[in-house]
Structure 1
């Protein structure tokens, strides 16, 4: 018999990791929700249109949650991603309007605005990383501070009024365009998630990230610059938040100064629901993507059933607490064994 390929071995390793964490149980919860809502309202919920709508609305949060996964795997936290999304969107739209304020602006204007948004997100992420890794300020305090700074500067730049007047090539082609019938937002989110999963589980960068979360002191003893790696991890989170800010512009055709402030908590919830430990050292991008869809499916199902949306928050909170509790049980069992 031939030996299994490297790809097969990696897939097997990922599956075992998912079984050892809460990821498998979270997936079963998601499947159960889909089955229940489909049984209750098959004509409204169990449709291609509804599935595509849920996936499209979740695409931007997937980018935030993927970046948050890398941060939480290091036993850190990034509360600033929602505000960085807003700030990056403001920077991108200001650059596009400054270069050519007409809806007929070309792809060069879109590209430069996108690069500006990515650069803004990267800068905030690098700042977070430097303050955490070099100045030794706790991640909770640093990112709570930059949360307020990024949102405040975005409001100053726009005088508290959402900015729009975006090129049609961004809003029509990316925001509402499709590739073989699949919205571009879904395609982009899927590609980012796939690359991130490969990086976390099959590259040196991912191994260092997991190692820092498991035992940062041991990492430094073997000659790995843990502080520099932390800067890179937070910079990655900021970069993906900046990318999410540009996609947010494409989707809504303007900035969203007031509706993105809860995205940081939603991203953290998705990561934890997906099985990533708040104590660091373990986590999967696949689990995070599953965690993103649980609140989305709940919101869609409750809307179709005409249940008050407030119950969605109650349900997600209960599942989140259960996920953290199961994570603690797993850690205690490992410690006792």
Structure 2
């Protein structure tokens, strides 16, 4: 029942360091990312390695990284969550409307008390969507694909009903300055720091805790996990709640960065989060994956997109390149599984 991963639990077989590194998904993913950076740096040395471009690359990837951390837990359980992008939108709308209501209709000059309440509402509303998804999947036994596809439409529809289909543009200036464009520790954007903290906590939770071990166990063999005493239903609800909670946090980060809700700008965030997670070595079949791999995987399409812009390649080629890399990653995962099963 124990999963065999590049970030497997401590009980994993002890092997020489060189063999473990050679067989680790994370190492190969990191080499692919490094190769992309080197190629773009050779083509335009002052482009991809430019400090300003790197800073914007990190900021633009922060929201997607937070979504992808939650997606990693879901996919490791052999599930899927197509609703993260629209839950992000709904959470941002709920937060913005709450801050406006507490500020008498215009939260532009709102203080940190109002902002804190807005943050709690964003995270809480996202977690609530996740709990609903988890209950329908784990207790009602409805396939995750159907449940989260339904939530994908329902969350966006609810956001549009709350706003009348128009973005909320009254957002606290202090929030935008502190989180959206603020920097700390020698110029590191606060958005990046927050995403890094989320990734670090996610990596610790998945790789070293009982919660992480149960997540791997359910993805490896749900029936066996149930027989050994794992509360599968409860755990799946918690995993989807975590995905929703991080979607809510991503919605609050997006609100801070753009200083407006973005109803129409996140329609592909779910697919991008899945792509980054799978590119990071998390298997769609469950039981295999790591948050560290996801962090690297998220940057592969980001570097491709930024590199294409810098060297002047048509933006229409960007999704094609990402699709090719994604299909190659899934093929590689399947090839490894077949080779392992034939031993």
Going from structure 1 to structure 2, the CA distance change for 1:108 and 1:179 (only over 3 Å counts) comes to same
The match for 1:42 among 45, 53, 56 is: 45
The match for 1:28 among 28, 31, 37 is: 31
CA distance in 2, matches of 1:64, 1:16: 32
Please report how far the alpha carbon of residue 299 of structure 1 lies from its aligned counterpart in structure 2 after TM superposition.
1.1
Instruction: After TM superposition, give the deviation of residue 16 of structure 1 in Å.
Output: 7.4
Q: Does residue 336 of structure 2 align to residue 330 of structure 1?
A: yes
Query: After the TM superposition, which segments of 4 or more aligned residues of structure 1 sit over 3 Å from their partners?
Result: 12-22
Q: How far has the Cα of 1:22 moved from its partner?
A: 3.3
| Residue 111 (str. 1) matches residue 116 (str. 2) | yes
The gaps in structure 1 that reach 5 residues or longer are 1-8
Compared CA separation, residues 102 and 276, structure 1 to 2 (3 A) = closer
Counterpart check, 1:75 vs 2:78: yes
Q: How does 1:153-302 map to 2 (within 5 A)?
A: 153-180=158-185, 181-302=187-308
2: CA distance, partners of 1:149 / 1:34: 39
SS at match of 1:129: helix
Report the counterpart of residue 126 of structure 1 in structure 2: 131
CA distance in 2, matches of 1:219, 1:134: 16
Name the CA distance, whole Å, in 2 between partners of 1:173 and 1:18: 40
Aligned length: 328
Asked if structure 2 preserves the Cα contact closer than 8 Å seen for 1:21 and 1:327, the reply is no
Deviation at 1:19, TM superposition (A): 4.8
- Structure-2-length-normalised TM-score: 0.93
8 Å contact from structure 1 (residues 18, 287) kept in 2:
no
Give me the whole-angstrom Cα distance separating, in 2, the residues matched to 1:133 and 1:43.
Answer: 51
Equivalent in the alignment of 1:148: 153
2:115 touches 2:175 (CA, 8 Å); kept in 1?
A: yes
Residues 113 and 212 of structure 1, relative CA distance in 2, 3 Å threshold: same
314, 320, 336: which one aligns with 1:314? 320
Provide the C-alpha distance between the structure 2 equivalents of 1:290 and 1:127, rounded to a whole number of angstroms: 30
In 2, Cα distance between equivalents of 1:115 and 1:219: 34
CA distance in 2, matches of 1:242, 1:235: 10
RMSD value, Cα: 1.7
Query: How many Å separate the matches in 1 of 2:197 and 2:162?
Result: 32
C-alpha distance in 1 between matches for 2:243 and 2:300: 22
Contact map agreement 1:18 1:284 (CA 8 A) in 2: no
CA distance 1:224–1:15, change in 2 (3 Å): farther
CA change 1:19–1:70 in 2 (3 A) is: farther
* Residue matched to 1:136: 141
- 177 and 220 in structure 1: CA distance in 2 versus 1, 3 angstrom threshold: same
1:200-231: CA deviation from partner (whole Å, max 9, x where unpaired): 00000000000000011111111111111000
Structure 1 residue 15 displacement after superposition: 9.7
When normalised by structure 1's length, the TM-score is: 0.94
Task: Give how far 1:28 is off.
Answer: 1.1
Q: Which deviates the most, 31-40 or 238-247?
A: 31-40
